[in-house]
Every structure is written in C-alpha cells, then in structure tokens.
A = this chain, B = another copy of it.
Amino acid sequence: MDRDKTKVRSFEVAELAQISRSTVSRALAGDPRISESTRARVRAAAAQLGYQPNLIARGLKNRSTGIVGVVVTDLNNPYHAQALQLLVGKLGARRLAPLVFVGDTAEGAESAIERLMSYQVDAVIALAAPFSGQIVRACRAGRKPLVLMNRHDGDEDVSVVSGDGVAAGAMAADHLIAQGARTFAYFAGDDSTSISLDRETGFAERLAENGFELSARLSSRYSHAHALDVAADLLRSGAQAIFCANDTLAFALMDAARGMTGGARRPLVVGYDNSALAGWPVYDLTSIDQNLEDMTSLTVETAHSMVAAPASPPRRHVISPHLVQRGSSINRPPKGTI
C-alpha cells in the first residue's frame, strides 16, 4: 500500500509552480480570481509533470463523482447496444463517466443499483429496464436523479425520455392503409411496458379511425427462434398487413412467410427499431425509427441538468419517431427476394 511514485499529485505541481495547492486547484478549475500569469504558470507545470487530478479524491471532497450509473438489460439486442454506445459517447462529451451494469433479472437489477449507490454516482440512467420499480425506489431513497429511457410506466416522479409509441402505431397504420391493405394484424412482444402497449393502441386506434380493425394479434418472446415458431399462426390469419413490435419479430415473420408452401400472398410488414439489418437486402424491411440519436442526447442532457440542479422537477420528453419505408411494405415482392 505504498504510494506510487509515478503518480503526480497537485502538491508536486504547486511546488514546481512555486504556489500553493489551493491555487493549483483554482487555476485548473478556471476560477476567475486567479491572475492569468499564475494560471499560465500552473498550466505549464501541470503539463510538464503530466498531472491528472485524482477524481476519486475530488469526488470524496465534492460529493460529486462525475460518474453516472447506466443500467442496461440485454446488449444482444442491437437496439440496446446502439443506445448504450450513443449514451457512453454523449456522456463522455459532458465529462461524465458511465458505470455500466446489466440488470436482466430482478436480483441483478437490485445488486446493480446497490453497487451504483456505493460508488456515489451522480445520476442513474436506466435503459428500457424491466424492474424499473426497484430502481425508482432505490434512487429516490438515495436521492439520486434518475432518467428512465424508453420506459414510462407509473406516474412516478422521475424524468423520462421515451419514444412516442402511439404515434409510431398510427404511422404504421397510415402507411399500411395507404399501401392498400384492408386486413391487419399485430405481432406483439412479451413485455407489458407501457411503451409497447402504446404502439399497439396507436395502431388499433388509427385503424379504427379509418374504419378498419385488428383482425389478429399474437405475442411472442423477443427472440427470433421463438417468434419463428409461432409466426405461422399469425400468417394463417390471412391478414394483408402486419405491424410488429420489433424488427426481430418482423424478421422472424418474414422468414416464416418465405418458408410457407404455396403461393399464398405475403403480407406487408412493418417493423420497429430500424435496426441495421432492416436495411439489408434480404429483409428490406420498412421500419419505424425511434430517433435514438435524439433520444440519447436528450437523456444525457436531462441527466446532466439534474446533476447540476438536483432540486429541479423531473422532466418528461417524448421523441417523435419516423417511418423508413422499404420494400417489405410495398405491394410487390421486396427486391431482396430471390
């Protein structure tokens, strides 16, 4: 437990610049009371020695670590992975450091949040997390700002940034109606988050407004294998157009359709997430893009501002999605088909 002599402390910088440690701290922090000449001297000394402040010590003193906890569920879901990537990048730009935990089970979420608290994070971002109840409770108890991304169940007093599921469903309906479909189905996921319910509601309501109705509905786990197993049932409903809660479900549905014998007309399909694969020719899937870029920006901005002003009231942002039209929803075989 000896001191590592390679580590430069503010004391060394102070010595070299012939000044006190407080002045070093102030000069580097941009305190306006420090004269330009001393500041320059301090900067030079710091640079010469390669001084990097110890943020752990600073965190202890300031009660603000600059660490933001990020709780994520499943990185195998490309949509979550991309969201995390964007979050990490944007947090970094604001000089915040993400401490990442995976909470894919109730116990996992519990222990994740506990560790985050121990590390005195400045805020917590929970990404599409189930078990958000425990997270909300823990953050409230620990007085930590919390931003829920793509989750808005309960009228909790936490900040939320989420996609507009109702608008997404309506968009899908409008588009499919415009393509000439007259019978419709919904392929749901196995979650019961309000956002995914919104999608279905928005879809059904917009159909109703146009005098149509949902003739079939099926739900599946969000895994390609499982969805592939059950998709045939949905196809047999004969619906001309199917809106899927997720691109993965849409892919499975299309795979099932290809595998079906006979020349049964393939349904028009619209997915949700606009994952990279949706743009590949094999699927060429029309999909609803949640504008992750905006969503993550706003999430980070919200977290940041809550750190800066902890007393400020929770914010709620809703991001409008947009539909990316591709071959899967056009009334002729998509170009990727052979």
Q: What is A's interface to B at a CB cutoff of 8 Å?
A: 1, 4, 6-7, 52-57, 59-60, 62-63, 65, 67, 70, 74-76, 78, 81-82, 84-85, 88-89, 92, 97-102, 111-112, 114-115, 117-120, 141-143, 224, 228, 251, 255, 258-259, 276-277, 280-283, 336-338
Contact = CB atoms under 8 A, between A and B. Distances in A.
A6 B143 contact: yes
A259 B74 CA distance: 34
A108 to B, nearest CB: 8
Contact of A55 (B84, B119, B281): B119
A115 B141 contact: no
B280 A54 contact: no
A13 B119 CA distance: 19
A97 B97 contact: no
A99 B98 contact: yes
B56 A65 contact: yes
Contacts of A99: 67, 97-100
Contacts of A120: 54-56
A63 B251 CA distance: 50
A75 B85 contact: yes
A198 B337 CA distance: 36
A23 to B, nearest CB: 20
Nearest to A142: B6
A60 B54 CA distance: 9
Contact of A81 (B6, B55, B76): B76
Candidate in A52, A56, A99, A258 with the most chain B CB atoms within 10 angstroms: A56
Given A85-B75, A102-B85, A141-B6, A56 B52 contact: no
Contact of A78 (B59, B76, B92, B102): B76
A240 to B, nearest CB: 21
A70 B92 CA distance: 14
A7 B144 CA distance: 11
A217 B112 CA distance: 47
A114 B55 CA distance: 11
Nearest to A257: B338
5 contacts: A7-B142, A76-B81, A92-B115, A282-B283, A337-B338
Nearest to A282: B282
Contacts of A74: 85
5 A-B pairs with the lowest CB-CB distances in the bound complex, closest first: A81-B81, A75-B85, A75-B81, A55-B118, A100-B100
A63 B4 contact: yes
Nearest to A255: B281
A276 B55 contact: no
A117 to B, nearest CB: 6
Contact of A255 (B53, B89, B280): B280
A179 to B, nearest CB: 23
Contact of A60 (B60, B89, B281): B60
